[in-house]
Amino acid sequence: MKRVAQVLRTPITTAVIGALLLTACATAPRTPVNDEFFTEATVASLQSAISRGDLSAVDVTRHYLARIDSVDPGLNAIIETNPDAESIAAALDRERETSGPRGPLHGIPVVLKANIDTGDGMATTAGSLALEGFQAPDDAHLVTALREAGVVILGKANLSEWANFRSTRSSSGWSSLGGQTRNPYDPDRNPCGSSSGSAAAVAANLVMLSVGTETDGSIVCPAGANGVVGIKPTLGLVSRDGIIPIAHSQDTAGPMARTVRDAALLLDAMATPDPDDPAMADRPEEIASFVAGLDTASLAGRRIGVVRNHPGAGSHPGVDTLLDDTVAALEAGGATVIDVEIHAEGAGAAEWEVLLYEFKSDLAAYLQTAGTPYSSLAELIEFNTANADTVMPYFGQEIFELADAKGGLEEEAYTSALAEGRRITREAIDSTLSANELDALVAPTNGPAWLTDPVNGDTFRIGSSSWAAISGYPNITVPAGFISGLPVGMSFFGTAWSDADLIEIAHSFEQATRARRPPGDG
Protein backbone atom coordinates (compact mmCIF):
# COMPACT_ATOMS: atom_id res chain seq x y z
CA MET A 1 0.00 0.00 0.00
CA LYS A 2 1.10 3.55 -0.62
CA ARG A 3 0.34 6.54 1.55
CA VAL A 4 -1.89 9.00 -0.29
CA ALA A 5 -2.59 12.67 0.18
CA GLN A 6 -5.91 13.75 1.62
CA VAL A 7 -7.08 15.08 -1.75
CA LEU A 8 -5.98 13.71 -5.11
CA ARG A 9 -6.90 15.16 -8.50
CA THR A 10 -8.39 12.52 -10.75
CA PRO A 11 -10.36 13.41 -13.90
CA ILE A 12 -13.73 11.87 -14.73
CA THR A 13 -12.71 8.52 -16.10
CA THR A 14 -15.68 7.52 -18.23
CA ALA A 15 -18.18 9.29 -20.41
CA VAL A 16 -20.92 7.31 -18.73
CA ILE A 17 -20.22 8.74 -15.27
CA GLY A 18 -19.81 12.24 -16.61
CA ALA A 19 -23.09 12.01 -18.47
CA LEU A 20 -24.85 10.69 -15.39
CA LEU A 21 -23.67 13.65 -13.35
CA LEU A 22 -24.61 16.21 -15.97
CA THR A 23 -28.04 14.65 -16.45
CA ALA A 24 -28.73 14.59 -12.71
CA CYS A 25 -27.75 18.23 -12.30
CA ALA A 26 -29.71 19.40 -15.33
CA THR A 27 -32.96 17.61 -14.68
CA ALA A 28 -33.38 17.67 -10.88
CA PRO A 29 -35.99 20.20 -9.77
CA ARG A 30 -34.91 23.20 -7.74
CA THR A 31 -35.58 22.55 -4.07
CA PRO A 32 -35.11 24.79 -1.04
CA VAL A 33 -32.04 23.62 0.83
CA ASN A 34 -32.85 23.06 4.52
CA ASP A 35 -32.83 20.23 7.06
CA GLU A 36 -35.87 18.68 5.39
CA PHE A 37 -34.02 18.68 2.07
CA PHE A 38 -31.26 16.51 3.53
CA THR A 39 -33.70 13.90 4.83
CA GLU A 40 -33.48 10.95 2.45
CA ALA A 41 -31.29 13.02 0.10
CA THR A 42 -29.66 11.17 -2.79
CA VAL A 43 -26.34 11.69 -4.50
CA ALA A 44 -28.15 13.20 -7.49
CA SER A 45 -30.17 15.66 -5.38
CA LEU A 46 -27.09 16.85 -3.51
CA GLN A 47 -25.04 17.19 -6.69
CA SER A 48 -27.84 19.15 -8.32
CA ALA A 49 -27.99 21.55 -5.37
CA ILE A 50 -24.22 21.97 -5.39
CA SER A 51 -24.22 22.52 -9.16
CA ARG A 52 -26.82 25.30 -8.74
CA GLY A 53 -24.68 26.97 -6.10
CA ASP A 54 -27.23 26.35 -3.33
CA LEU A 55 -24.82 24.11 -1.44
CA SER A 56 -21.12 23.36 -1.22
CA ALA A 57 -19.29 20.21 -0.15
CA VAL A 58 -18.41 22.07 3.05
CA ASP A 59 -22.11 22.75 3.70
CA VAL A 60 -22.96 19.09 3.17
CA THR A 61 -20.12 17.93 5.40
CA ARG A 62 -21.06 20.35 8.17
CA HIS A 63 -24.70 19.27 7.99
CA TYR A 64 -23.86 15.61 8.52
CA LEU A 65 -21.31 16.35 11.25
CA ALA A 66 -23.94 18.41 13.08
CA ARG A 67 -26.52 15.66 12.68
CA ILE A 68 -24.07 13.11 14.07
CA ASP A 69 -23.52 15.38 17.08
CA SER A 70 -27.25 15.76 17.70
CA VAL A 71 -28.64 12.31 16.81
CA ASP A 72 -25.87 9.75 17.21
CA PRO A 73 -25.64 9.86 21.03
CA GLY A 74 -28.88 7.87 20.95
CA LEU A 75 -27.61 5.40 18.35
CA ASN A 76 -23.85 4.85 18.84
CA ALA A 77 -23.45 4.34 15.09
CA ILE A 78 -20.29 6.45 14.75
CA ILE A 79 -17.08 5.73 16.67
CA GLU A 80 -15.29 8.90 15.51
CA THR A 81 -15.52 11.65 12.93
CA ASN A 82 -12.69 12.74 10.69
CA PRO A 83 -10.94 15.87 12.03
CA ASP A 84 -9.92 16.68 8.44
CA ALA A 85 -13.41 16.31 6.92
CA GLU A 86 -14.14 20.03 6.50
CA SER A 87 -10.71 20.84 5.07
CA ILE A 88 -11.03 17.97 2.57
CA ALA A 89 -14.46 19.26 1.56
CA ALA A 90 -13.12 22.81 1.16
CA ALA A 91 -10.32 21.58 -1.10
CA LEU A 92 -12.83 19.68 -3.21
CA ASP A 93 -14.98 22.81 -3.49
CA ARG A 94 -11.99 24.78 -4.77
CA GLU A 95 -11.20 22.02 -7.23
CA ARG A 96 -14.78 21.99 -8.51
CA GLU A 97 -14.59 25.73 -9.17
CA THR A 98 -11.33 25.54 -11.09
CA SER A 99 -11.59 22.25 -13.00
CA GLY A 100 -15.04 20.80 -12.43
CA PRO A 101 -16.16 17.71 -10.52
CA ARG A 102 -14.27 14.45 -10.74
CA GLY A 103 -17.49 12.47 -11.00
CA PRO A 104 -20.82 11.89 -9.29
CA LEU A 105 -19.31 11.42 -5.82
CA HIS A 106 -17.30 14.64 -5.78
CA GLY A 107 -17.75 16.21 -2.34
CA ILE A 108 -20.12 13.50 -1.04
CA PRO A 109 -19.43 12.31 2.55
CA VAL A 110 -18.91 8.59 3.20
CA VAL A 111 -18.56 6.70 6.49
CA LEU A 112 -16.27 3.66 6.74
CA LYS A 113 -16.59 0.68 9.05
CA ALA A 114 -13.93 0.93 11.76
CA ASN A 115 -12.06 -2.16 10.53
CA ILE A 116 -10.98 -0.36 7.32
CA ASP A 117 -7.58 1.33 7.25
CA THR A 118 -7.21 5.05 6.73
CA GLY A 119 -3.78 6.66 6.69
CA ASP A 120 -4.99 9.80 8.44
CA GLY A 121 -5.89 11.08 11.90
CA MET A 122 -8.52 8.42 12.52
CA ALA A 123 -7.95 5.08 14.20
CA THR A 124 -8.57 1.60 12.79
CA THR A 125 -9.71 -0.55 15.68
CA ALA A 126 -12.33 -3.19 14.78
CA GLY A 127 -14.11 -1.72 17.80
CA SER A 128 -11.63 -3.25 20.25
CA LEU A 129 -10.01 -1.44 23.17
CA ALA A 130 -6.90 -3.43 22.31
CA LEU A 131 -6.44 -1.23 19.22
CA GLU A 132 -7.69 2.02 20.75
CA GLY A 133 -5.86 4.89 19.06
CA PHE A 134 -4.08 2.67 16.53
CA GLN A 135 -3.51 4.56 13.28
CA ALA A 136 -2.91 2.48 10.17
CA PRO A 137 0.21 3.34 8.16
CA ASP A 138 -1.77 4.08 5.00
CA ASP A 139 -5.13 3.86 3.27
CA ALA A 140 -6.79 0.61 2.33
CA HIS A 141 -6.89 0.20 -1.45
CA LEU A 142 -10.63 0.91 -1.54
CA VAL A 143 -10.13 4.09 0.49
CA THR A 144 -7.53 5.32 -1.99
CA ALA A 145 -10.08 4.68 -4.75
CA LEU A 146 -12.79 6.59 -2.88
CA ARG A 147 -10.53 9.57 -2.25
CA GLU A 148 -9.63 9.61 -5.93
CA ALA A 149 -13.37 9.67 -6.74
CA GLY A 150 -13.64 12.84 -4.65
CA VAL A 151 -15.51 11.60 -1.59
CA VAL A 152 -15.13 13.12 1.86
CA ILE A 153 -14.25 10.41 4.39
CA LEU A 154 -16.54 11.60 7.17
CA GLY A 155 -15.76 9.12 9.93
CA LYS A 156 -15.59 5.55 11.18
CA ALA A 157 -18.68 3.48 12.04
CA ASN A 158 -19.17 1.29 15.08
CA LEU A 159 -19.41 -2.46 14.56
CA SER A 160 -19.68 -5.76 16.32
CA GLU A 161 -16.24 -6.05 17.90
CA TRP A 162 -13.77 -7.96 15.70
CA ALA A 163 -16.57 -8.19 13.12
CA ASN A 164 -18.60 -10.43 15.45
CA PHE A 165 -15.99 -13.18 15.63
CA ARG A 166 -15.12 -13.20 19.32
CA SER A 167 -17.99 -14.95 21.11
CA THR A 168 -20.90 -17.23 20.28
CA ARG A 169 -23.05 -15.20 22.70
CA SER A 170 -22.24 -11.74 21.36
CA SER A 171 -24.68 -8.88 20.93
CA SER A 172 -24.42 -7.60 17.37
CA GLY A 173 -23.39 -3.97 17.21
CA TRP A 174 -21.58 -4.03 20.56
CA SER A 175 -17.91 -3.18 20.82
CA SER A 176 -15.76 -2.44 23.84
CA LEU A 177 -14.68 0.80 22.18
CA GLY A 178 -17.99 2.04 20.79
CA GLY A 179 -20.65 0.50 23.03
CA GLN A 180 -23.95 -0.84 21.66
CA THR A 181 -25.21 0.42 18.32
CA ARG A 182 -28.99 0.77 18.32
CA ASN A 183 -31.56 0.28 15.61
CA PRO A 184 -32.94 3.66 14.47
CA TYR A 185 -36.42 2.15 14.02
CA ASP A 186 -36.52 1.05 17.66
CA PRO A 187 -33.52 1.76 19.90
CA ASP A 188 -34.36 -1.23 22.09
CA ARG A 189 -33.90 -3.54 19.12
CA ASN A 190 -30.75 -4.81 17.51
CA PRO A 191 -29.22 -3.43 14.29
CA CYS A 192 -27.72 -6.83 13.36
CA GLY A 193 -24.05 -6.91 12.48
CA SER A 194 -21.28 -6.76 12.11
CA SER A 195 -21.55 -3.63 9.94
CA SER A 196 -24.06 -2.26 12.43
CA GLY A 197 -22.98 1.37 12.52
CA SER A 198 -22.54 1.57 8.76
CA ALA A 199 -26.17 0.57 8.26
CA ALA A 200 -27.68 2.50 11.17
CA ALA A 201 -25.90 5.71 10.12
CA VAL A 202 -27.37 5.57 6.61
CA ALA A 203 -30.81 4.63 7.91
CA ALA A 204 -30.87 7.54 10.36
CA ASN A 205 -29.63 10.06 7.78
CA LEU A 206 -26.33 10.64 9.60
CA VAL A 207 -24.72 10.13 6.20
CA MET A 208 -26.02 9.05 2.81
CA LEU A 209 -23.35 6.49 1.94
CA SER A 210 -21.26 4.05 3.95
CA VAL A 211 -18.96 1.09 3.52
CA GLY A 212 -19.37 -2.16 5.42
CA THR A 213 -17.59 -5.50 5.27
CA GLU A 214 -18.96 -9.03 5.18
CA THR A 215 -17.71 -12.51 5.86
CA ASP A 216 -21.19 -14.01 6.16
CA GLY A 217 -24.16 -11.68 6.51
CA SER A 218 -22.32 -8.69 7.93
CA ILE A 219 -23.43 -6.33 5.15
CA VAL A 220 -26.80 -7.71 4.15
CA CYS A 221 -28.21 -8.48 7.61
CA PRO A 222 -27.64 -4.99 9.11
CA ALA A 223 -28.75 -3.40 5.84
CA GLY A 224 -31.97 -5.42 5.95
CA ALA A 225 -32.59 -4.80 9.65
CA ASN A 226 -32.04 -1.05 9.21
CA GLY A 227 -34.07 -0.64 6.04
CA VAL A 228 -31.27 0.25 3.62
CA VAL A 229 -29.61 -1.24 0.54
CA GLY A 230 -26.48 -3.32 1.02
CA ILE A 231 -24.32 -4.96 -1.63
CA LYS A 232 -22.01 -7.89 -0.88
CA PRO A 233 -20.00 -8.10 -4.13
CA THR A 234 -18.45 -11.10 -5.77
CA LEU A 235 -15.23 -11.92 -3.93
CA GLY A 236 -12.47 -10.13 -5.84
CA LEU A 237 -14.54 -7.23 -7.13
CA VAL A 238 -13.37 -4.96 -4.28
CA SER A 239 -9.84 -5.17 -2.90
CA ARG A 240 -9.39 -6.81 0.50
CA ASP A 241 -6.26 -4.75 1.18
CA GLY A 242 -6.23 -2.80 4.45
CA ILE A 243 -9.23 -4.46 6.09
CA ILE A 244 -8.89 -6.14 9.50
CA PRO A 245 -9.80 -9.69 8.46
CA ILE A 246 -11.76 -12.69 9.55
CA ALA A 247 -11.20 -14.94 6.55
CA HIS A 248 -9.62 -14.16 3.19
CA SER A 249 -11.77 -16.77 1.40
CA GLN A 250 -14.99 -14.87 2.24
CA ASP A 251 -14.16 -11.31 3.37
CA THR A 252 -15.19 -8.40 1.17
CA ALA A 253 -16.18 -4.78 1.57
CA GLY A 254 -19.36 -3.42 0.03
CA PRO A 255 -21.52 -0.28 -0.14
CA MET A 256 -24.60 0.73 1.82
CA ALA A 257 -27.07 3.44 0.78
CA ARG A 258 -30.75 4.28 0.90
CA THR A 259 -31.21 3.56 -2.81
CA VAL A 260 -29.82 0.96 -5.18
CA ARG A 261 -28.58 3.69 -7.51
CA ASP A 262 -26.52 5.35 -4.79
CA ALA A 263 -25.10 2.02 -3.64
CA ALA A 264 -24.14 1.27 -7.26
CA LEU A 265 -22.41 4.66 -7.55
CA LEU A 266 -20.34 3.86 -4.48
CA LEU A 267 -19.53 0.38 -5.79
CA ASP A 268 -18.38 1.93 -9.09
CA ALA A 269 -15.83 3.96 -7.15
CA MET A 270 -14.72 1.09 -4.89
CA ALA A 271 -14.33 -1.64 -7.51
CA THR A 272 -10.90 -0.71 -8.83
CA PRO A 273 -8.30 -3.35 -9.77
CA ASP A 274 -5.68 -4.31 -7.21
CA PRO A 275 -2.90 -6.43 -8.72
CA ASP A 276 -1.70 -7.33 -5.22
CA ASP A 277 -4.98 -9.02 -4.23
CA PRO A 278 -4.99 -12.70 -5.32
CA ALA A 279 -8.81 -12.78 -5.21
CA MET A 280 -8.80 -10.61 -8.34
CA ALA A 281 -7.13 -13.28 -10.45
CA ASP A 282 -10.49 -14.38 -11.90
CA ARG A 283 -11.90 -10.86 -12.18
CA PRO A 284 -13.23 -9.98 -15.66
CA GLU A 285 -10.84 -7.79 -17.60
CA GLU A 286 -13.45 -5.05 -17.97
CA ILE A 287 -15.95 -4.10 -15.28
CA ALA A 288 -18.66 -1.79 -16.66
CA SER A 289 -20.32 0.90 -14.56
CA PHE A 290 -22.95 -0.59 -12.30
CA VAL A 291 -25.08 2.52 -12.78
CA ALA A 292 -25.03 2.58 -16.57
CA GLY A 293 -27.91 0.14 -17.08
CA LEU A 294 -30.26 1.34 -14.36
CA ASP A 295 -32.27 3.81 -16.44
CA THR A 296 -33.37 1.06 -18.82
CA ALA A 297 -33.48 -1.77 -16.28
CA SER A 298 -36.71 -3.76 -16.13
CA LEU A 299 -38.14 -6.88 -14.56
CA ALA A 300 -39.79 -7.80 -17.85
CA GLY A 301 -38.44 -11.07 -19.19
CA ARG A 302 -36.43 -11.85 -16.05
CA ARG A 303 -36.61 -15.33 -14.56
CA ILE A 304 -36.18 -15.36 -10.79
CA GLY A 305 -36.21 -18.28 -8.37
CA VAL A 306 -37.78 -17.68 -4.97
CA VAL A 307 -36.01 -19.82 -2.38
CA ARG A 308 -38.71 -21.26 -0.16
CA ASN A 309 -36.42 -23.36 2.05
CA HIS A 310 -34.26 -20.51 3.32
CA PRO A 311 -33.01 -20.78 6.94
CA GLY A 312 -35.89 -19.91 9.25
CA ALA A 313 -38.55 -20.50 6.61
CA GLY A 314 -42.00 -20.59 8.15
CA SER A 315 -40.86 -19.23 11.51
CA HIS A 316 -42.55 -15.83 11.11
CA PRO A 317 -45.81 -15.36 9.20
CA GLY A 318 -45.03 -11.69 8.55
CA VAL A 319 -41.85 -12.61 6.67
CA ASP A 320 -43.76 -15.25 4.69
CA THR A 321 -46.29 -12.58 3.70
CA LEU A 322 -43.55 -10.17 2.61
CA LEU A 323 -41.98 -12.91 0.50
CA ASP A 324 -45.35 -13.50 -1.18
CA ASP A 325 -45.66 -9.73 -1.72
CA THR A 326 -42.20 -9.75 -3.28
CA VAL A 327 -43.22 -12.49 -5.70
CA ALA A 328 -46.34 -10.52 -6.63
CA ALA A 329 -44.31 -7.35 -7.27
CA LEU A 330 -41.80 -9.22 -9.42
CA GLU A 331 -44.57 -10.84 -11.47
CA ALA A 332 -46.42 -7.53 -11.82
CA GLY A 333 -43.21 -6.09 -13.28
CA GLY A 334 -43.10 -8.80 -15.93
CA ALA A 335 -40.77 -11.33 -14.31
CA THR A 336 -41.37 -15.06 -14.27
CA VAL A 337 -41.00 -16.35 -10.71
CA ILE A 338 -40.40 -20.02 -9.93
CA ASP A 339 -40.38 -21.69 -6.52
CA VAL A 340 -37.04 -23.40 -5.92
CA GLU A 341 -35.12 -25.03 -3.10
CA ILE A 342 -31.39 -24.81 -2.42
CA HIS A 343 -29.73 -27.80 -0.78
CA ALA A 344 -26.26 -27.13 0.61
CA GLU A 345 -26.04 -29.54 3.51
CA GLY A 346 -22.58 -29.67 5.04
CA ALA A 347 -21.55 -26.19 3.88
CA GLY A 348 -22.12 -24.58 7.27
CA ALA A 349 -19.86 -27.01 9.12
CA ALA A 350 -17.16 -26.59 6.49
CA GLU A 351 -17.44 -22.81 6.70
CA TRP A 352 -17.00 -22.81 10.47
CA GLU A 353 -13.79 -24.80 10.19
CA VAL A 354 -12.45 -22.49 7.48
CA LEU A 355 -13.24 -19.32 9.42
CA LEU A 356 -11.46 -20.54 12.53
CA TYR A 357 -8.32 -21.49 10.63
CA GLU A 358 -8.20 -18.37 8.47
CA PHE A 359 -8.97 -16.00 11.33
CA LYS A 360 -5.92 -17.12 13.28
CA SER A 361 -3.64 -16.85 10.27
CA ASP A 362 -5.10 -13.77 8.58
CA LEU A 363 -5.43 -11.67 11.72
CA ALA A 364 -1.82 -12.33 12.71
CA ALA A 365 -0.67 -11.28 9.24
CA TYR A 366 -2.67 -8.03 9.50
CA LEU A 367 -1.49 -7.22 13.02
CA GLN A 368 2.16 -7.65 12.05
CA THR A 369 2.02 -5.94 8.65
CA ALA A 370 0.07 -2.93 9.91
CA GLY A 371 2.40 -2.48 12.89
CA THR A 372 -0.16 -2.84 15.68
CA PRO A 373 0.99 -3.37 19.29
CA TYR A 374 0.07 -7.06 18.93
CA SER A 375 1.36 -9.79 16.67
CA SER A 376 -0.99 -12.72 17.21
CA LEU A 377 -4.42 -13.85 18.28
CA ALA A 378 -2.83 -15.31 21.42
CA GLU A 379 -1.64 -11.86 22.48
CA LEU A 380 -5.12 -10.42 21.97
CA ILE A 381 -6.57 -13.21 24.11
CA GLU A 382 -4.12 -12.20 26.84
CA PHE A 383 -5.15 -8.55 26.53
CA ASN A 384 -8.84 -9.42 26.77
CA THR A 385 -8.25 -11.61 29.80
CA ALA A 386 -6.25 -8.92 31.56
CA ASN A 387 -8.92 -6.32 30.78
CA ALA A 388 -11.99 -8.52 31.15
CA ASP A 389 -14.00 -5.98 33.13
CA THR A 390 -14.08 -3.52 30.23
CA VAL A 391 -13.54 -5.79 27.22
CA MET A 392 -15.71 -8.74 28.27
CA PRO A 393 -18.41 -7.41 30.61
CA TYR A 394 -21.20 -9.36 28.84
CA PHE A 395 -19.69 -12.18 26.81
CA GLY A 396 -16.36 -13.91 26.44
CA GLN A 397 -13.90 -14.86 23.72
CA GLU A 398 -14.57 -18.53 23.10
CA ILE A 399 -14.30 -18.07 19.30
CA PHE A 400 -10.88 -16.48 19.77
CA GLU A 401 -9.82 -19.48 21.83
CA LEU A 402 -11.20 -22.02 19.34
CA ALA A 403 -9.39 -20.27 16.48
CA ASP A 404 -6.13 -20.01 18.40
CA ALA A 405 -6.17 -23.76 18.97
CA LYS A 406 -6.08 -24.38 15.20
CA GLY A 407 -2.92 -25.12 13.26
CA GLY A 408 -1.69 -23.62 10.01
CA LEU A 409 -3.38 -23.31 6.62
CA GLU A 410 -1.40 -26.25 5.29
CA GLU A 411 -3.41 -28.68 7.44
CA GLU A 412 -5.70 -31.08 5.58
CA ALA A 413 -8.62 -30.28 7.87
CA TYR A 414 -8.51 -26.71 6.57
CA THR A 415 -7.86 -27.36 2.88
CA SER A 416 -10.56 -30.01 2.62
CA ALA A 417 -13.12 -27.85 4.44
CA LEU A 418 -12.36 -24.90 2.14
CA ALA A 419 -12.77 -27.01 -0.98
CA GLU A 420 -15.91 -28.71 0.32
CA GLY A 421 -17.72 -25.54 1.37
CA ARG A 422 -17.07 -23.84 -1.94
CA ARG A 423 -18.03 -26.91 -3.95
CA ILE A 424 -21.30 -27.43 -2.10
CA THR A 425 -22.50 -23.83 -2.27
CA ARG A 426 -21.35 -23.07 -5.80
CA GLU A 427 -22.92 -26.23 -7.17
CA ALA A 428 -26.11 -25.53 -5.22
CA ILE A 429 -26.49 -22.02 -6.61
CA ASP A 430 -25.26 -22.68 -10.14
CA SER A 431 -27.26 -25.86 -10.64
CA THR A 432 -30.46 -24.18 -9.41
CA LEU A 433 -29.91 -21.27 -11.77
CA SER A 434 -29.07 -23.40 -14.80
CA ALA A 435 -31.74 -26.07 -14.29
CA ASN A 436 -34.45 -23.43 -14.22
CA GLU A 437 -32.82 -20.92 -16.63
CA LEU A 438 -32.86 -18.26 -13.93
CA ASP A 439 -31.27 -14.81 -13.81
CA ALA A 440 -31.25 -14.60 -10.00
CA LEU A 441 -32.50 -16.05 -6.75
CA VAL A 442 -34.43 -14.21 -4.03
CA ALA A 443 -34.98 -14.95 -0.35
CA PRO A 444 -35.63 -12.95 2.82
CA THR A 445 -32.56 -11.17 4.17
CA ASN A 446 -33.77 -11.00 7.76
CA GLY A 447 -36.72 -11.19 10.10
CA PRO A 448 -37.85 -8.30 12.28
CA ALA A 449 -35.08 -7.09 14.59
CA TRP A 450 -34.83 -8.81 17.95
CA LEU A 451 -34.54 -7.05 21.31
CA THR A 452 -30.91 -6.32 22.14
CA ASP A 453 -29.81 -8.61 24.95
CA PRO A 454 -26.15 -8.34 26.01
CA VAL A 455 -26.64 -11.10 28.59
CA ASN A 456 -27.98 -13.83 26.31
CA GLY A 457 -26.73 -12.50 22.97
CA ASP A 458 -28.33 -12.41 19.55
CA THR A 459 -31.51 -14.18 18.50
CA PHE A 460 -31.15 -15.08 14.82
CA ARG A 461 -34.04 -16.92 13.21
CA ILE A 462 -34.21 -15.92 9.54
CA GLY A 463 -31.45 -15.28 7.02
CA SER A 464 -30.15 -16.31 3.63
CA SER A 465 -26.62 -14.92 3.48
CA SER A 466 -24.52 -18.07 3.81
CA TRP A 467 -24.96 -19.47 0.31
CA ALA A 468 -23.51 -16.37 -1.36
CA ALA A 469 -20.97 -15.82 1.42
CA ILE A 470 -19.38 -19.26 1.33
CA SER A 471 -19.39 -19.45 -2.47
CA GLY A 472 -17.98 -15.94 -2.86
CA TYR A 473 -20.95 -14.97 -5.02
CA PRO A 474 -22.73 -11.57 -5.03
CA ASN A 475 -25.73 -10.69 -2.87
CA ILE A 476 -27.76 -7.47 -2.65
CA THR A 477 -30.51 -6.68 -0.15
CA VAL A 478 -33.30 -4.17 -0.81
CA PRO A 479 -35.96 -2.86 1.62
CA ALA A 480 -39.10 -4.94 1.06
CA GLY A 481 -41.50 -3.87 3.79
CA PHE A 482 -42.14 -3.68 7.51
CA ILE A 483 -43.35 -5.93 10.30
CA SER A 484 -44.63 -3.98 13.31
CA GLY A 485 -42.63 -0.98 12.13
CA LEU A 486 -39.38 -2.95 11.73
CA PRO A 487 -37.73 -3.19 8.28
CA VAL A 488 -37.27 -6.44 6.41
CA GLY A 489 -35.12 -6.79 3.30
CA MET A 490 -35.12 -9.18 0.37
CA SER A 491 -31.84 -10.56 -0.95
CA PHE A 492 -31.15 -11.08 -4.64
CA PHE A 493 -28.17 -13.33 -5.27
CA GLY A 494 -26.66 -15.28 -8.13
CA THR A 495 -23.53 -16.68 -9.69
CA ALA A 496 -20.04 -15.19 -9.77
CA TRP A 497 -19.69 -11.79 -11.47
CA SER A 498 -23.45 -11.37 -11.91
CA ASP A 499 -23.26 -8.21 -9.78
CA ALA A 500 -24.49 -5.90 -12.54
CA ASP A 501 -27.52 -8.08 -13.35
CA LEU A 502 -28.45 -8.35 -9.69
CA ILE A 503 -28.16 -4.59 -9.21
CA GLU A 504 -30.47 -3.98 -12.18
CA ILE A 505 -33.02 -6.48 -10.85
CA ALA A 506 -32.80 -5.01 -7.35
CA HIS A 507 -33.21 -1.48 -8.72
CA SER A 508 -36.28 -2.51 -10.72
CA PHE A 509 -37.78 -4.18 -7.65
CA GLU A 510 -37.04 -1.11 -5.55
CA GLN A 511 -38.70 1.21 -8.06
CA ALA A 512 -41.75 -1.06 -8.27
CA THR A 513 -42.23 -1.32 -4.50
CA ARG A 514 -40.65 1.82 -2.98
CA ALA A 515 -40.88 0.09 0.39
CA ARG A 516 -38.31 2.14 2.29
CA ARG A 517 -39.50 4.64 4.89
CA PRO A 518 -37.17 6.59 7.16
CA PRO A 519 -37.29 5.95 10.93
CA GLY A 520 -40.23 7.67 12.55
CA ASP A 521 -42.15 8.03 9.28
CA GLY A 522 -45.22 5.95 9.98
Q: How far apart are CA 362 and CA 163, in angstroms?
A: 14
- Supply angle C-alpha 216, 492, 285, rounded to 5: 80
User: Are 241 and 1 spatial neighbours (Cβ–Cβ below 8 Å)?
Assistant: yes
485: left (phi over 0), alpha (psi -120 to 50) or beta: left
Sign of the torsion formed by the C-alpha atoms of 280, 161, 264 and 488: positive
- Give the length of the chain: 522
202: left (phi over 0), alpha (psi -120 to 50) or beta: alpha
* Alpha carbon of residue 373 to chain centroid: 28
Residues labelled as active-site residues: 113, 194, 218
Q: How far apart are CA 494 and CA 392, in angstroms?
A: 39
Identify the bridge partners of residue 213 per DSSP, sorted by sequence position: 253
* Alpha carbon of residue 454 to chain centroid: 24
Report the 10 Å Cβ neighbour count for 154. Answer: 28
DSSP string, 369-402: HHT-S--SHHHHHHHHHHTHHHH-SS---HHHHH
- Does an H or E element contain 214, and which? strand 209-214
